[in-house]
Structure 1
Amino acid sequence: MTSAAPAPADSAGNWVDRHAPSFLRPFLRLARADRPIGSWLLLIPCWWSVAMALGVQARMGAPDTLSALAYAALFAIGAVAMRGAGCTWNDILDRDIDGRVERTRSRPLPAGQVTLAGAFVFLALQCLAGLVVLLCLPAFAIVVALSSLGLVAVYPLMKRIIWIPQLVLGLAFSWGALMGYAALIGTLPGSAFLLYAGSVLWVVGYDTIYAHQDREDDEAVGVKSSARLFAGATRGWLVGLYGATVVLIGLAIGFAGGGVFAWLGLAAFAAHLGWQIARVDIDDRENCLTVFRSNRDAGLILLAGLIAQALLG
């Protein structure tokens, strides 16, 4: 293993390169610690769910704010650990493909910075960290969380099989939209599944934008993606995907009995998604990355409305 190889093309000028010990950098890159946007996007549906479940408790007259804060913190730790594990697993399976794609050929495995055995050991350590977090949750939430493992395991293979692997990513990445309900109130009402469905379509939309960075390389190596499938019609698809996202999350808020703060948060979230549709240029890789990353802000905007509703509504 070497540590002198450059950082991946889509990962430069970050805290890992500036501050992490050189021997740790390849492993931190393998876990995408140099690009925390993925952890944010995995975590945000968890926090949406916690906020909505807390709101349900508040309307029943018994909000458990301390438990909500504790679960929010656990989900944050778990999101970092499991996002890192998912990226490591993805890179293990995709190491040959990554070596043929410009943006990813300098990732740790294809660049020879980490051995395959080392990657498996690192994967196990991250899964162990996730297990520790999992065991801190109530039994029902543990069962719900474990139900997602199949999706996590098969997602990296989907780009070889189906034209919209982003859908499977959405199913896996949005699981947190169920977890706050499962942990805080011990059940999954209809509003939880509506929130989950909305989050799934949100993921499909923003990951389509992300995938346009690799559209030409994916075509050359035979990898399927929604970016290739939608191609020049992407903007229209985004209107449909993001529009359905807003409708489904709106239904979730309505079924959960949400009030004015939640609706204001949803309206601001919808406005941000509209800005993305207007702003995105699918032929400009830098633009696609910038618009994709802005989804952290979009998700936090909605979260602010849901939290305000739970605490002040």
Structure 2
Amino acid sequence: MGERFRLYLDLIRWSRPAGWLLLLWPTLSALWIAAHGFPGWHLLAVFVLGTILMRSAGCCVNDVADRDFDKHVKRTAARPVTSGRVSVKEALVLGALLALCAFGLVLTTNAVAVTWSFAALAISLVYPYAKRFVSMPQAVLGVAFSFGIPMAFAAVQSRVPLLAWVLLVGNLFWVLAYDTEYAMVDRDDDLRIGMKTSAITLGRADVAVVMGCYAAFLAIWAVALMERIPLIALATGLLAAAAQAVWHFTLIRSRSRDGCFKAFRLNHWVGFAVFAGIVAGYAIQ
């Protein structure tokens, strides 16, 4: 029993929190913006736990979808489903249970949030298969990883205003940046097995596009929020995020596996910097 539990923890990447942190910071940022400050302990708990649960469920579905590809990639060959230590049925059942738990949390909010949760689930299920047909599947992931933003507005305001979609578009550019860095790690393996990724599609333009996406993300959020949050706090958070993006350029410019993977793993600090600026801004208003 203990061994199975450890395998399930490995399946949902429990020891690698970077994945759910990448989802969490923009979601919490949207929660603070929608509520014009602290959203209350109930919504905070719902979105923190829901983010962790949905990211874990997504890992289960992703590993099932990619099991025949992952065995050919050095970094992923030992994953529980790919290696046969966890069956496809087990992974899908676990993913479904985690998603149901997340849905149970959404049910404690309001009807608008519940309705939008079905769209969020659909996008999460589509992404693992997009890599077979879309030359830039990272764009699909960008929508999936940004959907906590409209969900947060729906839960707080019982509506999804234009601002939420503007922030979603901006966040999509950030996802394109860090997931392209992630794809750069596996580019050689993905080329060999015929997987489609942004790193392959962009070719030698990859580094330039990653940096452009960082810039687009920060610019869109700056313009969207500059009249809502005190400039000193917003600028501090965005500049801290921009400084990290510049550092990531030094990590990925040689396109080494280690450098690109390090940049990806540390990207959640970019999101945290933006979130911290937003929280500070509402605190001093």
State the AA in 1 paired with 2:30. Answer: S
Structure 2 residue aligned with 1:22: 3
Could you state the TM-score of these two structures normalised by the residue count of structure 2? 0.94
Look up the match of 1:15: none
From 149, 159, 162, the counterpart of 1:187: 159
Change in Cα spacing, 1:145 to 1:260, as seen in structure 2 (3 Å) is: farther
Structure-to-structure mapping, 1:81-92, within 5 angstroms: 81-92=53-64
Contact 2:30–2:153, Cα closer than 8 Å, also in 1: yes
Which secondary structure state, in structure 2, belongs to the residue aligned with residue 35 of structure 1? Answer: coil
Provide the C-alpha distance between the structure 2 equivalents of 1:281 and 1:26, rounded to a whole number of angstroms: 36
Is 2:251–2:262's contact at 8 Å kept on the other side of the alignment?
no
d(CA) in 1 for partners of 2:230, 2:139: 28
The answer to which of 180-189 and 35-44 deviates more is 180-189
* Residues 135 and 197 in structure 2, CA contact (< 8 A), matched pair in contact too: yes
Q: CA deviation at 1:298?
A: 1.0
Unaligned runs of 5+ in 1: 4-20, 56-62
Shift in Å, 1:174: 0.6
Match of 1:280 among 237, 252, 259: 252
Q: Would you say 1:139 and 2:139 are equivalent positions?
A: no
Q: How does 1:67-146 map to 2 (within 5 A)?
A: 67-146=39-118
Q: Distance in 1 between matches of 2:247 and 2:201?
A: 23
Shift of 1:190: 2.5
Residues 245-264 of structure 1 correspond to what in structure 2 (within 5 A)?
245-254=217-226, 256=228, 258-264=230-236
- Superposition deviation, residue 257 in structure 1: 5.3
User: Counterparts of 2:231 and 2:210 in 1: how far apart (Å)?
Assistant: 27
Q: Is the 8 A contact 1:41 1:295 kept in 2?
A: yes
Structure 2: where are the runs of 5+ without partners?
A: none
Q: Secondary structure at the match of 1:24?
A: helix
Relative to the length of structure 1, the TM-score reads 0.86
Q: 1:124 to 1:188 in 2, by over 3 A?
A: closer
Match of 1:154 in 2: 126
Q: Find the partner of 1:45 among 26, 34, 37.
A: 26
Say if 1:101 and 1:217, in contact at 8 Å, map to a contact too.
yes
| Higher helix residue share | 2
Mapped partners of 1:148, 1:23: distance in 2: 29
State the shift of 1:267 in Å. Answer: 2.1
The reply on whether 1:217 has 2:198 as its aligned counterpart is no
For residues 162-203 of structure 1, give each alpha carbon's deviation from its aligned partner in whole angstroms, at most 9, with x where no partner exists: 111000000010111222222122222232211111110100
Aligned amino acid, residue 262 of structure 1 = L
Measure the CA separation in 1 of the matches of 2:257 and 2:8.
Answer: 26
Question: CA deviation digits over 1:191-234, x for unaligned, max 9?
Answer: 22111111101001100001111100000000010111123221
Structure-2 change in CA distance of 1:72 and 1:131 (3 Å)? same
Amino acid at match of 2:33: M
Partner in structure 1 of residue 177 of structure 2? 205
Partner of 1:9: none
Contact kept in structure 2, 1:273 and 1:298, CA below 8 Å: yes
Aligned to 2:203: 231
* Contact 1:174–1:196 (CA under 8 A) maintained in structure 2: yes
Give the structure 1 partner of residue 142 of structure 2.
Answer: 170
Identity of aligned residues (%): 34
Partner of 1:295: 267
How many pairs align? 285
Cα separation, 2, equivalents of 1:282 and 1:255:
39
Contact persistence 2:207–2:253 (CA under 8 A) = no
C-alpha spacing 1:303/1:227, structure 2 compared with 1 (3 Å): same
Partner of 2:239: 267
The aligned amino acid for 1:26 is: L
Q: Quick one: distance in 1 between partners of 2:155 and 2:232?
A: 25
Q: State the alpha-carbon separation in 2 of the partners of residues 91 and 195 from structure 1.
A: 29
